[in-house]
Amino acid sequence: MSFFLQFTIDVLALGGAYALMALGLVIVYGILRLVNFAYGELIMVAGYSMYLTSGSGWPWLVMAAVAVLMAMLAGIATDYVAFRPVRAKSVTAVLITSFAFSTLLQNAALLFISPRPRNVPLPEIFSETVSFAGVITPARNLITIAATGVLLALFSWLMRRTVLGIAMRAAATNFTMARMLGVPANLIISSAFAISGLLAGVVAMLWIGRIGAVVPGIGLGPLLIAFIATVIGGMRSLQGAVLGGFVLAFIDTTLNFTLPQDLLKFRDAFTFSLVIAILLWRPEGLIKGPASGQRT
């Protein structure tokens, strides 16, 4: 019994972080039909914001809020710098500019801060463990689960109950029609990038909470995870991204528990094999998403 509880907590905590990463990527993809390769750098920006404000003496929550805000601003900046100038031209152009912006941000961190890991302040509770019902788990895991629950609820409320959210869902299926109803294209795109940044910022707090340090390449792992999770879940569906995150975490955690010690270092190879199997079975991902798909 306590094993299953332990397993469930692990899957939910890891899956929650994965789901938030995937959601941040797919919210932009859904609207622009473009993968934002600079997404990982939003996580990096939040991390360095924590590092840079660590001497300020602010309470941790204030530093975290500033870091999330920075990630949101960096998200909106991604649109203005990498997407907006070339959006109308070609898919390739945007892919290249988003790669370039990602590299630019990483190199700025290398140059102006350091290639070496920089410590990030963490609240006490992140390093505490909790034991209940025969389970011992880091408090961080429970915080992650709670944060995921709150954010998913907030996100779902935004997308279903607000005009902006409904307009974003509409724009994801037919951007031109949404615009012909008066929905401003730039508002929708900036909002998508801001939400993407918000999710990346929160993910950064949870993700960096595991390591306690930030490096210029910190965003690569989350970008890859987000990408795989959205491919599993279905690139076109917000629910799919969340589902994909939890499925990926389920696979990872199961392998963690079942693989013998000497095979554990090949865990990712096993994970990817399973991902390929899922895609052979369902090439469009688990959840298909809306039918139409013209790009703007």
Judged by CB under 8 A, the stretch of 128-136, 150-158, 172-180, 191-199 that binds other proteins is 172-180
Within its chain, how far is the Cα of 156 from the centroid? 16
- Rounded-to-integer distance, Cα 250 and Cα 245, Å: 9
- Rounded-to-integer distance, Cα 26 and Cα 243, Å: 12
Q: What 8-state DSSP symbol labels residue 219?
A: T
CB 289 within 8 A of CB 234: yes
- Rule CB under 8 A: is residue 185 a binding residue for other proteins? yes
The residue within the footprint of other proteins, chosen from 32, 38, 109, 183 (CB under 8 A), is 183
CB 230 within 8 A of CB 25: yes
Two structure tokens written together for 263:
């095979």
Write out 189-258 in H/E/C secondary structure: HHHHHHHHHHHHHHHHHHHHHHHCEECCCCCHHHHHHHHHHHHHHCCCCHHHHHHHHHHHHHHHHHHHHH
Q: How far is the CB of 156 from other proteins (least distance, A)?
A: 14
Judged by CB under 8 A, the stretch of 10-18, 34-42, 63-71, 176-184 that binds other proteins is 176-184
- Rule CB under 8 A: is residue 290 a binding residue for other proteins? yes
Q: What binding mask, one character per residue, do residues 42-61 give for other proteins by CB under 8 A, x or -? A: --------------------
- Rule CB under 8 A: is residue 28 a binding residue for other proteins? no
Q: What binding mask, one character per residue, do residues 127-166 give for other proteins by CB under 8 A, x or -? A: ------------------------------------x--x
Beta-sheet pairing, 129-132 with 118-119? unpaired
- Rule CB under 8 A: is residue 176 a binding residue for other proteins? yes
Q: What binding mask, one character per residue, do residues 235-274 give for other proteins by CB under 8 A, x or -? A: ----------------------------------------
Residue numbers at the binding site for other proteins (CB under 8 A): 163, 166-167, 169-170, 173-174, 176-185, 289-292
